[in-house]
A and B are shown apart, each in its own frame.
Chain A
Amino acid sequence: MDYFFTEEQQFMRDVAKEIAEKKIRPVAAHYDETGEFPWPEVKAMAEADLFRVFIDEKYEGMSGGTPITNMCIVTEELSKACGGISLAFAATGLGTMPILISGSEEQKEKYLPRIASGTLAAFALTEANAGSDASGIQTRAVEDGDSFILNGTKQWITNGGEAEIYTVFAVTDPDRGARGVSAFIVEKDTPGFTFGKKEDKLGIRASATRELIFQDCRIPAENMLGRRGTGFFTAMKTFDMSRPGVGAQALGIAQGALDLAVQYSRQRKQFGQPISSFQGLRFMLADMAMKVEAARALIYSVARWLDKCEPKKAAMYSAMAKCFASDTAMEVTVNALQVFGGYGYMKEYPIEKYMRDAKITQIYEGTNQIQRDEIGRGLIAAAAQGN
C-alpha cells in the first residue's frame, strides 16, 4: 500500500531499509546473544544521516517539517531487522524531544547538531518507585548559585551508559507536586553522574538499559529545559510526540515477523504440500496482516497530524497508535512463531526473538493500561465538552 510519502521520506525509507537489510539483519542474532551495544551499526546509521530526520534544517537536520513521520518511517524499517538495534536510534529521538519541545535557542544550537550527526541521547524519567506513576519521582535538583545539584537514581533508562546527552527529570520544588518537576540536560562524564549495571533482558537485548546514578552531580543552571516547574508538561508533550515512534518500532517488529512467517509457510511442506496451501494457515496470516496494516494506517495518520498541526488534543490519539501497534505486535509475533511450529521455538530460527522483542513495546513509554486510561479519559472529556 502507498502512504504517499514525499520523495525525501521515500529516500529515508530506502536508506533505512538498506541499512536494515545489509548491516543490521546479518548481525541481529549475534547482538541478541551477546547483549553488546551495536556501535558499528549506530555509526552506519549516523553516516547515512538517519539521525537528522527528526531535527530541523536550522540545526543541521533534514526533517523537512515532518519530524514525527520521518522518525516513524526510519524506526519501522530498522525494527523489521531488529527491534533492539533500532532502539539506539528511536530512544535517541525520545531523548531529543524535550530539547525540541522546551529547549531555548542556545540549547538547541548547542545540542541538536551533535545529535544530528549521531551523538546518542536518552530520556530519563522512570525511577524504582515511579513507573506508571511518574509524578512519584524523587530525584532532587537543588539550586546552588548558578548550578543545580542532582541526587537520585533513574531506572531502566534506554541508551543508558552509551548516550552522551541525557534529558533528566528531577524535583526542584517538592511542595508543588507535579508543578515542582523540572527538566535538565545532563552530559555523560559530568562528575557525580555514574551508571549502574546493565540489565539482562528478555528481549531488545542489543539495547543498553541501565540505571543512572546522580550523587551530588553539579550541572549549570543553563542546562534547565524550559521554565522551572514545567518538567511535567515537557514530559507529557514528549510522550504525545514520541508514542507513534514506539508504535512504529512495534509495527516493524510485527511486519518483520509476519514476513518471516509468510516465507516459511511457502517453504515448509507437510502432507505433501506447502503449509501455505492450508486455509487455516492462510486465515492466520490474513488476521495478522489486517492488524499490521491497521496499525500502520493509524500510526502514520497520527504522525502526519502531529507534524502538521501539533494539536493540543493529541494525547488520546498518540496513545491509540502506541497501544494498538504494540498489542498487535505481541499477537502477531506469537502467531508467527506458531506458523513455524516446533522450529519456531528453537533459537536457531529467528522468529522467537521477534516475540521476545515485541513484549516491551506493550510496557515502556506508558504501559498499555496507562494508554487505555488516557484514551478513556480523553473520550469522556470530549463528551463532557459536547464534542
Chain B
Amino acid sequence: MMKIVVCIKQVPQTTEVKIDPETHTLIREGVDSQINPFDLYALEEGVRVKERLEAEGEQSVVIALSMGPPQAEEALREAISLGADEGILLSDRAFAGSDTWATSYALAKAIQKIEPQLVFCGMQAIDGDTGQVGPGIAVHLDYGQAAYVAKIESLDKRKIVVKRLLENGYETVAVRLPAVLTVVKEINEPRTPSLRGKMNAKKAEIPIWKAADIGAPEDKIGLLGSPTQVIKVFCPPRREGGEKWSGEAPELADKLAELLKEMEVI
C-alpha cells in the first residue's frame, strides 16, 4: 500500500495581517487562519495520486501532517474534508521558535515514523515565504527530491517522473522513491470540500505527536535547534500613491509617453 504524506501549514489570512503600530509586531488575535494556499495544491495532488492508484486497483492512504500550535488541528480537519484520509498534528511547546532547519527536522522525524513513499509540500508558505522546508525534509530523510513540480507524468513502485517548471522552460526528471516533491500552482485545480469529507473531518481523531513521540532531541528543535535567530521585526516603509491623472485617452497616452521618455525607459 502506498503511503502519501502531505505537509500543510496553517497561516494567517494575509489580507488581514495588521501590524501593531507601536510594537511593530503582528496582531494575531482575531485574525482568521487558512491552510497555506500552496499546500492546497500539494494536498490536491496527493489525493489525485491516490484516486489514480485506486482506479488501477492499488490501495493508498493520504496523511496530512502539520507542525503547529494546537489550533492547527483545524487545518488538518480541513485537509480531511478535502480528501486526506488522516491527519497528524506535531505540536509541542518545545517546537516553538523553530526556524526552517528545526521545522524541517521535526517534520522529517515525524515522516520517518510514517515511512511514506511520497511526500508532497507546497512551493512555499505565504507567511515565511522561504520555500526551504520541503527540500530540507528531503535531505534530513535522504529521500529523492524534485522542486517546482508542475505535473506528474507517471508513477510506479520504484520511481516517479515529473515535469519541473524552471524560469526558462520545463525539465522532465525521473526520481527514485521515496521522494519529496514541492509543487507549483500550475499542477492542478484544488477541489472544494465534499460532504463526506466534512463528515469524516468531524469524526476524525487527530493524534498529537510531541517531541518525545518522534524522538527529537532538544537541541535540534525549537529555538535551541534553530541556527538562525530573528533579532528584529519592523514595518517596511509603506508605499504611498503618487500623482493621479485623468482625461481623454489620447492626452493621457501622450503624457505617459513623455513620462517614459523622462524615465529613460524609451
Contacts and interface: CB of A to CB of B under 8 A. Distances in A.
Interface of A: 7-8, 11-12, 14-15, 18-19, 22-23, 44, 47-50, 52-53, 62
Contacts of B195: 8, 11-12, 15, 48-50, 52-53, 62
A91 B202 CA distance: 30
Interface in B182-198: 191-198
Contacts of B199: 8, 11
B194 A49 contact: yes
Between A23, A49, A52, A62, the greatest number of chain B beta carbons within 10 A of the residue's beta carbon is seen for: A49
Contacts of A18: 192-193
Given A11-B195, A11-B198, 4 more contacts: A8-B199, A15-B195, A48-B193, A53-B195
Say what secondary structure dominates the interface of chain B. helix
Give 9 nearest A-B pairs by CB, closest first.
A49-B195, A11-B198, A18-B192, A48-B194, A49-B194, A19-B192, A49-B196, A15-B195, A22-B192
A49 B197 CA distance: 9
Nearest to A17: B192
Interface residues of B, number: 10
A279 B120 CA distance: 55
A238 B125 CA distance: 51
Nearest to B198: A11
B191 to A, nearest CB: 6
A44 B192 CA distance: 8
Nearest to B193: A15
A47 B193 contact: no
Between B195, B196, B198, B202, the greatest number of chain A beta carbons within 10 A of the residue's beta carbon is seen for: B195
A44 B191 contact: yes
A15 B198 contact: yes
Interface in B82-123: none
Nearest to A23: B192
A48 B193 CA distance: 6
28 contacts: A8-B195, A8-B199, A11-B195, A11-B198, A11-B199, A12-B195, A14-B193, A15-B193, A15-B194, A15-B195, A15-B198, A18-B193, A19-B192, A22-B192, A23-B192, A44-B192, A47-B191, A47-B194, A48-B191, A48-B192, A49-B194, A49-B195, A49-B196, A49-B197, A50-B195, A52-B195, A53-B195, A62-B196
B59 to A, nearest CB: 20
A23 B195 CA distance: 16
Contacts of B202: 7
Nearest to A51: B195
Between A8, A15, A44, the greatest number of chain B beta carbons within 10 A of the residue's beta carbon is seen for: A15
Nearest to B190: A22
A118 to B, nearest CB: 11
Interface in B165-211: 191-199, 202
Interface in B216-240: none
Nearest to A62: B195
Nearest to A10: B198
A12 B199 CA distance: 10
A14 B191 contact: no
Contacts of A52: 195
A8 B196 CA distance: 10
Contacts of B193: 14-15, 18, 48
Contacts of A62: 195-196
Contacts of A8: 195, 199
Contacts of A48: 191-195
Contacts of A7: 202
Nearest to B201: A11
A240 B197 CA distance: 32
A30 B198 CA distance: 30
Contacts of B198: 11, 14-15
A18 B81 CA distance: 12
Contacts of A44: 191-192
B190 to A, nearest CB: 9
Contacts of A19: 192
A364 B193 CA distance: 32
A19 B198 CA distance: 14
A50 B198 CA distance: 12
A50 B191 CA distance: 14
A50 to B, nearest CB: 7
A19 B194 CA distance: 10
Nearest to B191: A47
A62 B199 CA distance: 11
A264 to B, nearest CB: 21
A10 to B, nearest CB: 9
A349 B196 CA distance: 36
Between A11, A14, A18, A53, the greatest number of chain B beta carbons within 10 A of the residue's beta carbon is seen for: A11
A18 B191 CA distance: 10
A113 to B, nearest CB: 14
Contacts of A47: 191, 194
A107 to B, nearest CB: 25
Contacts of A14: 193, 198
Contacts of A23: 192
Contacts of B196: 49, 62
Interface in B134-158: none
B18 to A, nearest CB: 22
A222 B28 CA distance: 64
A372 B14 CA distance: 52
A23 B202 CA distance: 24
